[in-house]
Structure 1
Amino acid sequence: MKKLDQQTVEERLNKLEGWEYKNDAIHTSFEFENFKEAFATMTRIAFEAELQQHHPDWTNVYNTLNISLSTHDADGVTEKDFKLAHTIEALLGNQ
């Protein structure tokens, strides 16, 4: 998969509220009511990521989930990252 140029990434980010581009990845974070809700959401995302065979770099501290997406084989952001980002947004009811 081909790495997207910075202009294309920034244009595509206009359709994803709360996401930003830095260090050759797109990033967001979500805050939940508690740890249980954050972890449950991670589990839902994990199943979708596995189906897409594209896995996020993420961290979870109590009720906060931080997600970074990039395609390591391409050394940057590709269509795969935006597909997973839109899936994540849909799972959270943001689209």
Structure 2
Amino acid sequence: MKGKLLSRREIKELSQLIPEWEVSGDKLVRKLKFKNFVEAFDFMSQVAIVAEAMAHHPEWSNVYSDLTIMLTTHDLGGISTLDLKLAEAINDLKEN
């Protein structure tokens, strides 16, 4: 799946659709807290299935119940439409 690199203006406009995410340099970042490690790992597993289906994978860091997810498209050198779609999918998983 190929995405389109987003301009700074597009990122600013589209980030309003995903207010849970922050723009940090060339990445979208979301920090999540779970009840415990098992819940955090379960959520990561759910995200992994979606990411694999999209052929677009997050960078992430997990320390016990804290999870930080970072999205960027390395091949395009920044935030792309793929990152936006994956962020929306992650939001949907978190809400359900």
Same fold at TM > 0.5? yes
Which secondary structure does the structure 2 equivalent of 1:73 belong to? Answer: coil
Tell me, yes or no, if structure 1 residue 59 matches structure 2 residue 61: yes
For residues 17 and 33 of structure 1, the distance between their equivalents in structure 2, rounded to whole angstroms, comes to: 22
> Are 2:25 and 1:23 equivalent residues in the alignment?
yes
TM-score (norm 2): 0.93
**Deviation (angstroms), 1:15:** 1.1
> Equivalents in 1 of 2:51, 2:93: separation in Å?
12
The 8 Å contact of residues 4 and 82 in structure 2, kept in 1 or not, is answered as no
% identity of equivalent residues = 39
Structure 2, unaligned runs of 5 or more? none
- 1:78 aligned residue: 80
Residues 29 and 71, structure 2, Cα contact 8 Å, conserved in 1:
yes
The alignment's C-alpha RMSD in Å is 1.1
**Preserved CA contact (<8 Å) 2:72 2:83:** yes
2:13, 2:29 → 1: CA distance?
A: 15
- Runs of 4 or more above 4 Å deviation: none
CA distance in 2, matches of 1:49, 1:2: 17
Distance in 1 between residues matched to 2:12 and 2:19, nearest whole Å:
12
Residue deviations 1:6-50 (CA, integer Å, cap 9, x gap): 111111111112211122111111000000000000000000000
Find the residue that maps to 1:54 and give its secondary structure.
coil
